[in-house]
Amino acid sequence: MLFNLHVENLALIDEADIYFGDGLNILTGETGAGKSIILGSLGLALGEKVPRGMLRDDEKDAVVEAVFVLDNDAQRKALETLDIWMEEDQVTLTRRIVKGRSVSRINGMTASAGLLKEVASVLLDMHSQQEHQSLLYKRKHLAILDAFGGTEIRQAREAVAERYHRWQKALKDLEEFSSDEEQRQREIDFLKFEIEEIEKAAPVPGEDEELEERYRLLANGKTIMEALESAYVMTGYDEDTGAGNTIGRAGRELSSVAKYGRELEELSGQLEQLDGLLNDFNRELSDYLSRQQFSEEELYETEKRLDVLNGLKAKYGRTVEMVLEELDKKRTRLEQLEDYNRILEEKQALEADLKKQVADACGALTSLRRKWAAPLEREIAKGLKELNFLQESFSIHLTPLETCGANGADQAEFYMSTNPGAPMGPVAQVASGGELSRIMLAIKTIMARQDTVGTLIFDEIDAGISGRTAQKVSEKLKEISRNHQVICITHLPQIAAMADTHFIIEKNVTDGKTKSYIEKLDQDGMITELARMLGGAQITDAVLENAKEMKRMAAVTEIDKTDKTISV
């Protein structure tokens, strides 16, 4: 359930803290007081885009924080699959908006908008006018039917999608492999040429790096030899100025006085070691010089070989290893083309088999959808009757698509008759806006019985209704709230009277600025607010008495508490 919503610097709200309760939470207030800002703020915490002009003060940060208390193990497991781990059975979603940019966090860890929306789908179900307008589109009807079928239909859909994607991959592979004889022969000839070119060069892994190093030495041979010879003379013993001779003389000088002190003896020893090291170095340098041969012919051959390897790398890969990998691929492709007919038959057989698997899976999914359509029809028809429809005729028309896709081979459309004697017709054509909202409420009631979502939010559920219908809608909301937390914005006293927790949103002008305030009402406050909704500006004793009676009647309203068991 949604435990707390904290809002700062959004629209008309300077700062607000709302602590929601179990059961039915009602939000009321005059038009324009800021009721929808509350749900809009919650939407921001759940990853929705930030509308322009939403910040109250552009120079300050806006903050929305929603704290949820988890209601069941199914929610915990669903969040754990998203790598969201609970802190004392709580999940905190935070959104901070700074000069047009926002940062979102879940339990203090930075989160993307996509992850927020996934988490939101686990925690709550938000119903707005846009959602009941979605009943105008047939794709929504199929989604409702599939959701009603629960795990059985979900698994069947997953089987269809998995087989469909395998089939599409095989079909694409077959199309890419298929070619006419002339095109195939051209490809064979070109592959043979490329394979021969690489095989003739016979590149060896790492060969290019070794040759490049050798080429640098050969290309700079004269400069290298001159530097080595100079270094040999400077560190040698043949010249009076050579380092070897100089250190030798210094060593003899120190050696002659070493007997006069320990430190002198140590310094003499160090110089002796240095003389030995220099002698070893000079000898190794002499050996290296004797082994070097920088011939123009070797330079030419090295450069020629590098040109061959670089040419291969320019055509087939950035490294010799990649060239050899490409050679293996070309050999494999050549084998396939030379054995074209057999491989083509194998690919055709695989594609045909996968296509049949898709058709079988689609058939099984269609059967399940027809199986679940009948009880869903009965449940919705029953729900419509409870919501004061004069005639509750309702049916689901399942029709086949021309081809099977990842979602099966069906389309669904809801049909109903809203008045006695009127023919059945598509919901999109025969239902008014108010009727669409009641149909969606009936569907939400049915889904809520099997849904793990803890919180349901209704905005504008009362659009286009009044009187007895409004009373029926209020009873339906109360029914849902027995097993779920319900948060509802309403203008109707019949719905407000059912509140377990009631908030009023008001706006006032302070220092020339309009601000919205949210207040949780006690019992007397609830009655006063009901009286305002009933009587408008003039609240008489009769209106107050009427409000008290509505609250008393709401408390004793008998709602069938028997758990509904859906038979299929």
Can you spell out the DSSP letters for 435-448? HHHHHHHHHHHHHH
- 479 close to 498: Cβ distance less than 8 angstroms: no
Q: Which residue, of 358, 384, 407, is where some domain finishes? A: 358
d(CA 486, CA 480): 7
User: Which residue from 47, 44, 54, 45 is spatially nearest to 13, judged by alpha carbons?
Assistant: 54
> What CATH code is carried by the domain that includes residue 101?
3.40.50.300
Residue among 348, 355, 408 nearest 168 (CA) = 355
How many degrees, rounded to 5, is the angle at CA 475 between CA 472 and CA 479?
A: 140
Let me know whether 124 and 208 are in one domain: no
- Return mean pLDDT, the chain: 84
The reported pLDDT for the residue numbered 467 is 81
Same domain, 189 and 335: yes
As for how many domains the chain has, the answer is 3
Looking up tokens 């409870």 gives: 386
Q: Are residues 73 and 158 in the same domain?
A: no
pTM score? 0.63
Do 514 and 547 lie in one domain? The reply is no
Is residue 316 in a domain?
yes
Same domain, 267 and 160: yes
Whether residue 213 lies inside any domain: the answer is yes
In a domain, 165, yes or no: yes
**Same domain as 223, residue 113:** no
Whether 124 and 375 have beta carbons less than 8 Å apart is answered as no
Kindly state the tokens that stand for 262: 């320990």
- CA-atom Rg of the chain in angstroms: 41
DSSP 281-321: HHHHHHHHHHH----HHHHHHHHHHHHHHHHHHHHH-SSHH
> Do residues 491 and 527 share a domain?
no
Average pLDDT over residues 40-46: 85
- Residue 311 domain-assigned (yes or no): yes
Last residue of a domain, one of 358, 374, 391: 358
Supply the pLDDT for residue 558. 44
Residues 511, 535: one domain?
A: no
More confident residue, 292 or 74: 74
Per-residue pLDDT, averaged over 190-208, amounts to 91
- pLDDT band for position 408 (50/70/90)? very high
Same-domain check for residues 108 and 198: no
* 210 and 326 part of one domain: yes
Token pair in block for residue 385: 């009757």
Q: How far apart are CA 68 and CA 88, in angstroms?
A: 11
| In the chain, % of residues over pLDDT 70 | 94
Residues in the chain: 568
Q: Give the pLDDT confidence of 330-382 residue by residue, as tens digits.
A: 999 888 888 888 888 888 999 999 999 999 999 999 999 999 999 999 999 88
Asked if the structure places residue 515 within a domain, the reply is: yes
pLDDT tens-digit map of 215-229: 887 777 667 777 777
The pLDDT assigned to 374 comes to 94
Say whether both 204 and 332 belong to one domain. yes
Q: Which tokens hold the place of 15?
A: 């700062």
Model pLDDT, residue 131: 65
Q: Is residue 180 part of a domain?
A: yes
192 and 62 within one domain: no
Q: Tell me which of 358, 389, 408 is where a domain ends.
A: 358
Nearest to 83 by CA among 52, 118, 51, 113: 118
499-545 tens-digit pLDDT:
999 999 888 877 777 888 889 999 999 999 999 888 766 788 888 89
Residue 383 lies in a domain: no
The answer to whether residue 37 sits within a structural domain is yes
Range of the domain at 339: 152-358
Query: Using 50, 70 and 90 to split pLDDT, how confident is the model at 162?
Result: very high
For the segment 456-465, the average pLDDT, to the nearest whole number, is 78
Lowest mean pLDDT segment, chosen from 62-66, 100-104, 541-545: 100-104
